[in-house]
Structure 1
Amino acid sequence: MGKSSSLLPLSLCSLLLCLSLFHVKLANALGTADGSEEWGYVQVRPKAHMFWWLYRSPQRVHSASKPWPTVLWLQGGPGGSGVGVGNFQEIGPLDTDQKPRNSTWLQKADLLFVDNPVGTGYSYVEDKEAFVKTDWEAATDLTTLLKKLYNKNERLQTSPLYIVAESYGGKFAVTLGLSVAKAIKAGELNLTLGGVALGDTWISPEDFVFSWGPLLLDVSRLDYNGANKSNSLAEKIRQQLASSQYGEATETWSQLEEMISSSSNNIDFYNFLLDSENDPLSTVAVASSKKLQISEKLTMKKRYSMYLSSKASSSGSLDDLMNGIIKEKLQIIPKNLSWGDQSDDVFNFLVEDFMKPRISEVDELLSLRVNVTIYNGQVDLICATKGTEAWVQRLKWEGLQNFTNLERKPLYCNNDGVTRGFVKSYQNLHFYWILGAGHFVPVDQPCIALNMVGDITQSPAAAPSWIKKK
Structure 2
Amino acid sequence: MVKKIFIIGSAIAVAALLAGLGVLIWWLVTREDEPPFSVRLLKGEGIGEIDYTAAFTEIPLVGEVFWWFYPTIAFGNRYQRPIILWLDGVTGVPPSLWGNLGMFGPYDLNFERRPDSWINRYNLLFIDSPIGTGFSSPKTNDQIPKTAEENAEHLALTLESFYTEHEGYRDTPLYIFGQAHGAQLALALAAKLHQGTTKYNLEGVVLGNAIISPALVMTKLGFYLEELGYIDANGRDAIETLSRETTQLVQDKKLEDAFDKFVSLGQFVNENAGATAVNLGNIVQKLTREPTTGDLFGQREYLRRALNNTQDYLDIMNTEVAKALGISNPTYDSGREDVIKAFKSSFMTPATEKVEYLLQNTSISVAIYNGNLDAVSNTPGQLEWVENLKWDGMQNNFLSAPRASIVVNRLVEGYYRNGTRLQFFWVNAAGQSTPLDNPAALNSILNRFVY
Question: TM-score, structure 2 length as denominator?
Answer: 0.86
For 2:286, the aligned partner's letter is D
2:430 equivalent in structure 1: 437
2:282 aligned with 1:271: yes
Q: Return the match for 2:407 from 409, 412, 415.
A: 412
Counterpart CA distance in 2 for 1:60 and 1:166 is 28
Matches within 5 A, 1:194-343: 194-262=203-271, 263-277=274-288, 293-294=293-294, 299-300=296-297, 303-331=298-326, 333-335=327-329, 337-343=330-336
CA offsets 1:325-359 (integer angstroms, 9 cap, x no match): 1100111x341x31111111111110111111100
Alignment of 1:68-217 (within 5 A): 68-78=81-91, 80-151=93-164, 153-183=166-196, 186=197, 189-217=198-226
- 1:313 Cα deviation from its structure 2 partner: 2.7
Residues 69 and 109 of structure 1 are in contact (CA less than 8 Å); yes or no, is this contact kept in structure 2?
yes
How many angstroms apart in 2 are the aligned matches of 1:451 and 1:233?
37
| Alignment of 1:370 onto 2:358 | no
1:353 and 2:346 are equivalent in the alignment: yes
Q: 1:316 to 1:167 in 2, by over 3 A?
A: same
Aligned equivalent of 1:11: none
Which of residues 380, 386, 390 in structure 2 aligns to 1:392?
Answer: 386
Which whole-Å CA distance do the structure 1 matches of 2:123 and 2:354 have between them? 26
Task: Give the distance between the partners of 1:57 and 1:244, measured in 2 at CA.
Answer: 45
Structure 2 letter corresponding to 1:166: Q
Task: Tell me, in whole angstroms, the C-alpha distance in 1 between the residues paired with 2:40 and 2:286.
Answer: 46
> In the alignment, is the contact (CA less than 8 A) between 1:103 and 1:446 conserved in 2?
no
Query: Displacement, 1:152?
Result: 6.2
Q: Which residue of 2 aligns with 1:23?
A: none
Name the SS for the 2:42 alignment partner: strand
1:401 to 379, 395, 409: 395
- Which 5+ residue runs of structure 1 have no aligned equivalent? 1-25, 287-291, 459-470
What do the CA deviations read for 1:173-207 (whole angstroms, capped 9, x no partner)? 11111011112xx2xx3521021000001001122
Q: Is the contact between residue 249 and residue 258 of structure 2 (CA under 8 Å) also seen in structure 1?
A: yes
User: In 1, Cα distance between the equivalents of 2:426 and 2:116?
Assistant: 19
What is the alpha-carbon distance in structure 2 between the residues aligned to residue 112 and residue 378 of structure 1? 27
Percent of pairs identical after alignment?
Answer: 25
Task: After TM superposition, give the deviation of residue 397 of structure 1 in Å.
Answer: 0.7
How far residue 128 of structure 1 moved from its aligned partner, in angstroms, is 1.1
Secondary structure, aligned partner of 2:249: helix
1-structure distance, mates of 2:376, 2:261? 15
1:379 corresponds to which residue? 373
Q: From the superposition, tell whether residues 110 and 449 of structure 1 become closer, same or farther in structure 2 (CA, over 3 Å).
A: same
Give the aligned residue type for 1:399: G
Code of the aligned partner of 2:281: Y
SS at match of 1:57: coil
Provide the rounded CA distance (Å) in 1 between the counterparts of 2:92 and 2:234. Answer: 34
Looking at structure 1, the residues matched to 129 and 357 of structure 2 have their Cα atoms a distance apart, in angstroms, of 23
Q: 2:40 aligns with which of 16, 28, 40?
A: 28
Report if the CA contact (8 A) 1:105-1:453 is conserved: no
Q: Distance in 2 between matches of 1:225 and 1:35?
A: 54
Residues 198, 373 of structure 1: 8 Å contact kept: yes
Cα pair 1:40 1:53 within 8 Å, conserved: yes
2: CA distance, partners of 1:355 / 1:253: 8
Q: 1:307 to 1:132 in 2, by over 3 A?
A: same
CA deviations 1:265-319 (Å, max 9, x no partner) are: 12111112222239xxxx8xx9xxxxx654xxx633xx11111211103352321
After TM superposition, where is structure 1 displaced by more than 3 Å over at least 4 residues in a row?
Answer: 30-35, 254-257
CA displacement, residues 383-442 of structure 1 (integer Å, 9 cap, x when unaligned)? 1111110110221011111211221121122xx311111121111101111111111111
SS, match of residue 220 in structure 2: helix
Q: Is the 8 A contact 2:406 2:444 kept in 1?
A: no
How much has 1:171 moved relative to structure 2? 0.6
C-alpha distance 273-79 of structure 1, shift in aligned 2 (>3 A): closer
Do the aligned partners of 1:241 and 1:249 also contact (CA within 8 Å) in 2?
Answer: yes
Q: CA deviation at 1:47?
A: 3.6
Alignment partners' CA distance in 1, 2:220 and 2:76 = 43
Partner SS state of residue 285, structure 2: strand
Tell me: higher relative CO, structure 1 or 2? Use CA pairs within 8 A at least 6 residues apart. Answer: 1
Contact 1:117–1:346 under 8 Å retained in 2: yes
Pair 159,247 (structure 1): closer, same or farther in 2 beyond 3 Å: same
1:91 is displaced (CA, Å) by 1.4
1:328 counterpart SS class: helix
List aligned pairs for 1:30-49, cutoff 5 A.
Answer: 30=42, 36-49=51-64
In structure 2, C-alpha distance between the alignment counterparts of 1:360 and 1:417, rounded to whole Å: 38
Give me the CA root mean square deviation: 2.1
For 2:208 and 2:412, locate their aligned partners in 1 and report how far apart those are by CA, in whole Å. Answer: 20
- Report the TM-score when normalising by structure 1: 0.82
Name the CA distance, whole Å, in 2 between partners of 1:106 and 1:249: 39
Deviations along 1:244-267, one digit per CA (max 9) or x if unpaired, are: 110111122234432212221121
